[in-house]
Amino acid sequence: MSVATSSVRKGETLIDTAMTLNAMHVDVLVVRHPESGAVKLLADKVNCAVINGGDGSHEHPTQALLDALTIRRRKGELSGLTVAICGDILHSRVARSNIHLLTTMGARVRLVAPRTLIPVAVERLGAEVFYDMNRGLDGVDIIMMLRLQTERMRGNYMPSIREYFHFFGLDYEKLAHANTEALIMHPGPMNRGVEIDSVVADDFGRSVIREQVEMGVAVRMACLELLTRNLPDESSKNA
């Protein structure tokens, strides 16, 4: 259901919506919500499985899983790799989920961004912070570029888009600091010429952006399969 046309817009609370959905006896709910923590709140109230499809700037677990699958297919394993996550870390649920997954799997994570786009005390999540792209990309195996989430920004976080691209946009000059075999990733949607140079994004020797989309289908199918595997079959449900 779309929030724009649903009862949520008519003033129903999230918990009332959860109760309504619960009464429909669905098997799985996939929820994307603009508020951080809303999916957890909903999951605590319903009996079925809930997949977080992205909650505010908090988490995006299936994106991290599809990123991990893409990396594993190309590099064999995650352990021992150095991954640079670059750009708007502050507003990125993709960054948070990836930090958790990658550090759990034994990869080293670097966060590369201007000071204004780095969350306070983010090193506590186990990542190293860099404010300079060339240093942050030095010798890395994976480069994950993030979109500037202007829809979540209140105020100015950088002098101009042009300056942002100059210092933090991925172009061949900055890419030259990474490992020669480094993969380029982006969760999409991409802002060409803002966080990534168009030619770099389309460099299919290095860029695995399309493969990420493909792996997204596989990972989400796997999640649905796992969560529905032990459901009682229809005949026993009716019995």
Single out the residue of 46, 50, 55, 60 in contact with ligand ASP (rule: CB under 6 A).
60
Q: Exactly one of 17, 18, 33, 54 binds ligand ASP (CB under 6 A); which one?
A: 54
By CB under 6 A, tell whether 196 contacts ligand ASP: no
Angle 190-195-198 (CA atoms, 0-180°, nearest 5)? 65
* Cα–Cα distance measured from residue 28 to residue 104, given in angstroms and rounded to the nearest whole number: 26
Taking a C-beta distance cutoff of 8 angstroms, is the pair 52, 59 a contact?
A: yes
Output the smallest distance, CB 190 to ligand ASP, in A: 9
Query: Which is nearer to ligand ASP, 106 or 188 (by Cβ)?
Result: 188
Q: Minimum distance between the CB of residue 147 and ligand ASP, rounded to whole angstroms?
A: 4
Residue nearest to ligand ASP (CB): 147
C-alpha to C-alpha distance for 220 and 222, rounded to whole angstroms: 5
Q: Where are the beta strands (DSSP E) in the chain?
A: 28-33, 49-55, 82-86, 108-112, 128-130, 142-145, 183-185
Residue 188 makes contact with ligand ASP by CB under 6 A: yes
Nearer to ligand ASP, 22 or 56 (CB): 56
Residue 18, number of CB atoms within 10 A of its CB:
19
Say which residue the tokens 């919500």 belong to.
33
The only residue of 82, 187, 196, 215 in contact with ligand ASP, by rule CB under 6 A: 187
Residue (218 or 231) nearer to ligand ASP, CB: 218
Binding mask 71-100 for ligand ASP (x = CB under 6 A): ----------------------xx------
Select from 156, 141, 122, 136 the least CA-distant residue to 82: 141
CB count within 10 Å of CB 136 equals: 23
99's enclosing H/E stretch is: helix 93-104
Is residue 168 a contact partner of residue 133, using CB atoms and an 8 Å limit? Answer: yes
Q: How many Å apart are CA 64 and CA 236, to the nearest integer? A: 36
Instruction: In angstroms, give the least distance from the CB of 136 to ligand ASP.
Output: 19
Which residue from 6, 159, 140, 11 is spatially nearest to 71, judged by alpha carbons? 140
Q: How far is the CB of 188 from ligand ASP (least distance, A)?
A: 6
Binding-residue pattern over the window 141 to 180 for ligand ASP, x denoting contact by CB under 6 A: ------x-x-------------------------------
The nearer residue to ligand ASP, 21 or 66, going by C-beta atoms, is 66
User: What is the size of the binding site for ligand ASP (CB under 6 A)?
Assistant: 8
In the complex, the smallest distance separating the C-beta of residue 144 from ligand ASP, rounded to whole angstroms, is 11
Binding site for ligand ASP (CB under 6 A): 54, 60, 93-94, 147, 149, 187-188
